[in-house]
């Protein structure tokens, strides 16, 4: 089932024609209405009329988070403030937040792309959707909310927190679709087990998850614990919010809503555009946004694109799940390490809970990596000899995955911090102890 079959099954030729028309229009619009873009295009020596093919997008400069922060709060808006009906921001954990402004038309677009994605999960007007993503300035909750309402489904806007209450609501209201971050989903499953609530007590038919890194092993764990398929949702505040790309029942990559968002993959160091199938940094351009068009935004998310037709019938380009962020990557003794690689190794082990922390230190001027891993209650009660054997086995799995030896510390069940939003997996202490 498709929400908008005409768009979702367009031929490549038709889609490219539509994209070029919209790219030309948005470049002209941004040049004429956003002083930042006029200045940057002029500096680059490029005019809107120079965009004659889709490939000509490469003539345009990139936009970064730093550019958006420099324009804080409303410097990137293309319309008068009175036409902006909603504002969201990023978390702002590294300085000023980035601001995202929406006109009424932008909210309609957001609702449309999310409705398409939720329909991929099998959502219809009879469903009850429990939305644990945060509301407020975070975009996560609102994207799902607008899409669900567009479909006509019932939304429970419970937001984050109140974990035991979440379980109670899921059971009492017979929630059919759960929207979570992967780490919070696993925490919910853990609490449900403590409360004696089994998948048979629930009515879940699908799970939508996103907003943080995950591995296929983590997805399998989530599906097993809730006995429901889990589908990936991708988005970011700067471009729109959740709804940029979503997963269909095939669960082999996310369909990019490319009539609204034009994707490129670049080499983050050379900034050259890479071919389909090559892994690199995702760059996105708004093709239809009215309030705040963003051109060639460097997401820092690592992925690749594939254009082969999908067995679900959709023809929109697919992106692989995000395997890391260029700014999440740890360089340990010259080796690039992503948290997802560690997670993949951990989830191969029975008796290991999917809760971990990666701690980077630099004693004696040499990088060291420690991975703290929770064990199951049963495992932690085993003999010391057994635990030592498991510890060595995990160290071996991680070594095979990343090519580095790390120290593994097994900790008691439920001792690592839980997250109701995005999990904090990496603690880099190298700046603190580099003396």
- pLDDT above 70: residue 117: yes
- Taking the CB of residue 128, how many other CB atoms lie within 10 A of it? 18
Which positions ≥6 away from 435 have C-beta within 8 Å? none
Give the residue among 297, 293, 299 at the shortest CA–CA distance from 102: 293
Using 50, 70 and 90 to split pLDDT, how confident is the model at 33?
very high
Closest alpha carbon to 171 in 192, 140, 194: 192
Q: State whether residue 299 is helix, strand or coil.
A: strand
* pLDDT interval class at 415 (50, 70, 90): confident
- State the pTM of this model: 0.78
Is the CATH code 3.30.1370.60 the one for domain 1-325? no
| Token digits of residue 146 | 């607008």
Per residue in 277-325, pLDDT tens?
999 999 999 999 999 999 999 998 999 999 988 999 999 999 998 877 6
Fold of 330-428: GMP Synthetase; Chain A, domain 3 (3.30.300)
Percent of the residues in the chain that have a pLDDT greater than 90, as a whole number: 60
Q: What pLDDT shows up at residue 213?
A: 66
Largest CA distance in the chain: 73
Indicate left, alpha or beta for 237 from its phi (over 0: left) and psi (-120 to 50: alpha): alpha
Q: CA-CA distance, 207 to 221, in Å (whole number)?
A: 12
Q: pLDDT band for 382, please (50, 70, 90 cuts).
A: low
- Residue 34 predicted with pLDDT over 80: yes
Query: Under 8 Å CB-to-CB from 263, ≥6 apart: which residues?
Result: 256, 282, 283, 284, 305, 317, 319
Given this model, what pLDDT does residue 434 score?
A: 43
Lowest-pLDDT choice from 26-40, 177-191, 305-319: 177-191
Output 359-367 pairs: Cβ under 8 A, ≥24 positions apart: 359/427, 359/429, 360/330, 360/332, 360/426, 360/427, 360/428, 360/429, 360/430, 361/429, 361/430, 361/433, 362/429, 362/430, 362/433, 362/434, 363/433, 365/434, 366/333, 367/331, 367/332, 367/333, 367/430
What gap in Å lies between CA 93 and CA 138, rounded to an integer?
13
Res 333: pLDDT = 62
pLDDT tens-digit series, residues 349-368 = 776 766 788 888 877 656 78
Closest CA to 323 of 310, 333, 337: 337
pLDDT of 91 over the 70 cut: no
- pLDDT above 70 covers a percentage of the chain that reads 90
CA-nearest of 244, 313, 185 to 177 is: 185
**In this predicted model, what pLDDT tens digit does every residue of 397-411 receive, in sequence order?**
888 877 778 888 888
Domain ranges of the chain: 1-325, 330-428
As a whole number of angstroms, the distance between CA 228 and CA 222 comes to 8
pLDDT of 435 over the 50 cut: no
């Amino acid at each position: 089932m498709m929400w908008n079959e005409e768009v979702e099954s367009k031929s490549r030729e038709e889609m490219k024609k539509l994209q070029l028309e919209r790219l030309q229009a948005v470049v002209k619009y941004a040049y004429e209405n956003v002083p930042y873009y006029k200045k940057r295009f002029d500096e680059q020596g490029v005019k809107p009329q120079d965009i004659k093919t889709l490939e000509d997008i490469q003539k345009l400069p990139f936009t970064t988070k730093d550019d958006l922060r420099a324009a804080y709060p409303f410097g990137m808006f293309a319309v008068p403030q009175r036409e902006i009906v909603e504002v969201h921001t990023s978390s702002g954990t590294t300085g000023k937040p980035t601001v995202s402004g929406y006109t009424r038309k932008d909210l309609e677009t957001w609702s449309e792309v999310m409705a398409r994605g939720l329909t991929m999960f099998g959502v219809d007007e009879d469903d009850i959707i429990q939305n644990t993503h945060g509301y407020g300035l975070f975009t996560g909750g609102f994207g799902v909310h607008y899409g669900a309402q567009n479909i006509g489904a019932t939304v429970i806007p419970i937001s984050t927190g109140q974990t035991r209450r979440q379980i109670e609501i899921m059971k009492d209201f017979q929630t059919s679709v759960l929207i979570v971050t992967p780490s919070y989903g696993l925490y919910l499953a853990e609490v449900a087990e403590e409360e004696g609530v089994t998948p048979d007590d629930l009515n879940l038919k699908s799970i939508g998850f996103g907003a943080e890194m995950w591995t296929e092993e983590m997805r399998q764990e989530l599906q097993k614990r809730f006995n429901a398929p889990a589908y990936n949702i991708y988005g970011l505040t700067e471009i729109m919010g959740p709804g940029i790309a979503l997963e269909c029942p095939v669960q082999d990559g996310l369909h990019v809503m490319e009539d609204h968002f034009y994707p490129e993959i670049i080499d983050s160091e050379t900034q050259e555009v890479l071919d389909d199938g090559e892994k690199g940094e995702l760059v996105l351009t708004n093709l239809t946004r009215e309030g705040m068009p963003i051109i060639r935004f460097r997401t820092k998310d690592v992925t690749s694109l594939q254009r082969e037709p999908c067995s679900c019938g959709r023809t929109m380009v697919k992106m692989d799940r995000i395997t890391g962020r260029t700014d999440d990557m740890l360089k340990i003794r010259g080796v690039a390490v992503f948290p997802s690689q560690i997670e993949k190794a951990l989830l191969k082990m029975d008796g290991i809970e999917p809760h971990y922390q990666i701690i980077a230190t630099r004693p004696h001027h040499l990088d060291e990596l420690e991975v703290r891993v929770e064990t199951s209650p049963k495992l932690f009660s085993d003999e010391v000899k057994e635990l030592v054997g498991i510890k060595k086995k995990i160290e071996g799995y991680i070594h095979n995955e990343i090519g580095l030896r790390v120290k593994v510390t097994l900790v008691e069940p439920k001792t690592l911090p839980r997250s109701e939003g995005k999990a904090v997996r990496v603690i880099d202490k190298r700046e603190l102890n580099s003396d």
